[in-house]
Amino acid sequence: MNKVVLFFILFLTNFSFSQQIPFYNHHFVNPFIYNPGYTGYKENVSAFLVRNSRNSSFDGGVINNYLTVDGAIKDGKHGFGLSAAYQTQGIQQQLGAGLSYSYLLKVNNDHSFRLGIQAGFLDNQLDASAINVEMTDDPFLQELSRNKLTYNGTFGLLYTWKTLRIGVSIPQLIGNKVKYGTEDPRGFYQLERHYMLNISQPISLTKDKVWSITPNVMLRYLPGLKLQYDVLLQADHSKWAWLAVGYKSDYAVEMNAGVKVLNGFQIGYSYEYIVGSLNAFRSGVNHEIMLGYTFNNDKYKNRIAELEMQTEELNQSHNNLEKVISNSELQLIERNLMLEDSLARLNLLYQLLLNQNKDLISEVESYRKTLNQIAAEDSLETSFTPEVENIPEDEKIIRSAGYNFVDLQNSRAPSGYYVINGVFSSRSNAINHLEATKNGGVENAYLLLNKTNHFYYVIIFYSTDDREAINQRKEYSKTNSSKVWVLEYFSVD
């Protein structure tokens, strides 16, 4: 009897014939084929074309072909994919297609879950021309439908912890029956629900992570059948090639090799050597060929990473510069205080000399002018003016020397007495100090810009009355330890 006829008889006379999903050997390269949870998990758009042939010399051998495309959008949050498959086995052909979607739930940088679902259709056909029977007018054959369309669905879940991947999927989730006979119940088979688990863990062999090995384990369970498992060990070079060897339980030893060319293409080949209980029935070669292409955006990711690193370096440099500027401001204030003290002492000396020895006035006057010049060159907020008496420290008034005050809207500031508690070369630092001053209770504090030295001054009080400004300084000093002084300012015409 012809083997096709034998297959046909076995197919139609079983009351509950179930169909398993095909064995594919490159699932470790493209796990999306079994689990929609992997849809877009690599973020790059990838396409794979596979042809799988088993028992090629057997009349009615099995040929499985599939095409998949998947990718992700919005930083990998959403994955989309499509797949198409065509299978032939004896007199039966099956064409299927489906759309997949996955959603990423990120727990933290190390842990994440990706939920996926696939929905599609299966077009099942019988090749009547391949049926070789003696009675072609058999009523059972006459009422057989040659084509049956049904729907299919798959659920998938992917969990990742760093580089560890654990996937769970349920192909043929709906479990539909494909009925070829319109009256006789024998003419059907069941799309049996599968329960699948796959685990993989790349292990880097070099510091640059170019060389690695990856153990892969896949378990599949169908009610009523023994648990099936695949184990495979893959050695991989990230830019060139891979080599793998595996074992399918009670079925075959698998050898797999592939190359990576032209910055995105992958070509893979696998060969199965049948062992176990099916060894006596094998016929021909069992092998699989894979073509894959990844629309690689790693170079853009690397460029983005470089720009992010450069940005971080610039931010660090900016912070360091801010610290240097802040330290310079402190040094400038300290120098200002020292100069104030020197000027006060010089005022006293000047007064003594004025009363005792007028011949030395010219020399002291020259020294005074020199100090005033140094103060103006260093953009310090002080100048020397001879005092007629020894004034207490908290009543001193510093007089401006060539200052040009404007507010932040570039409006000229009026002449008068300004109570100041901070000077900054950095506008951001000045704003921060202003906010701290306001939070400390001086709600009316504001900023002025000295266009002569381009420093920002934090003003806590202004008045045209010097006594009022001095009293305000004293009140502020009672509750604040920061340096505060009164500046007499003459507006630039």
State the DSSP string of 255-282.
EEEEEEETTTEEEEEEEEEE-GGGGGG-
Distance CA(430)–CA(459), nearest Å, equals 11
Residue pair 172/85 in contact by the 8 Å Cβ criterion: no
Q: How many alpha carbons lie under 13 Å from residue 78 in its C-beta half-sphere?
A: 4
Do 207 and 342 fall within a single domain?
no
Identify the pLDDT of residue 56.
Answer: 61
Do 346 and 433 fall within a single domain?
yes
Enumerate the β-bridge partners of residue 35. Answer: none
Identify the pLDDT of residue 371.
Answer: 63
Identify the pLDDT of residue 11.
Answer: 41
Distance (Å) of CA 393 to CA 336, 344, 484: 14, 9, 11
Amino acid, single-letter form, for residue 99 = L
Distance CA(83)–CA(66), nearest Å, equals 7
Do 422 and 468 fall within a single domain?
yes
Do 267 and 310 fall within a single domain?
no
Identify the pLDDT of residue 180.
Answer: 63
Do 321 and 292 fall within a single domain?
no
Distance CA(325)–CA(320), nearest Å, equals 9
Tracing tokens 């002291």 back to the chain, one arrives at 364
Domain count within the chain: 2
Do 264 and 412 fall within a single domain?
no
Do 8 and 36 fall within a single domain?
yes
Query: CA nearest 17: which of 139, 140, 124?
Result: 124
Last residue of a domain, one of 268, 296, 324: 296
Last residue of a domain, one of 296, 313, 343: 296
Do 23 and 131 fall within a single domain?
yes
Domain holding 424: CATH number? 3.30.70.1070
Residue pair 171/196 in contact by the 8 Å Cβ criterion: yes
Helix-strand-coil split of the chain, %, nearest 5: 30, 40, 30
Do 280 and 387 fall within a single domain?
no
Q: What are phi and psi of 108, to 5 degrees?
A: -160, -165
* C-alpha distance across the termini of the chain, in Å: 117
Domain holding 113: CATH number? 2.40.160.40
Do 259 and 387 fall within a single domain?
no
Last residue of a domain, one of 296, 330, 365: 296
Query: CA nearest 269: which of 294, 243, 250?
Result: 243
Q: What are phi and psi of 307, to 5 degrees?
A: -65, -40
The DSSP code for 318 is H
Domain span at residue 95 reads 3-296
Do 55 and 137 fall within a single domain?
yes
Give 10-residue mean pLDDT values along the chain (493 residues): 40 47 90 94 91 71 91 90 90 89 93 96 76 60 69 95 95 80 61 92 91 95 89 94 94 93 92 76 77 75 65 75 65 72 71 60 61 53 46 82 88 93 91 92 93 92 93 89 88 73
322 SS3 class: helix
Distance CA(235)–CA(203), nearest Å, equals 10
Distance CA(61)–CA(284), nearest Å, equals 9
Do 252 and 338 fall within a single domain?
no
Query: CA nearest 7: which of 61, 47, 57?
Result: 61
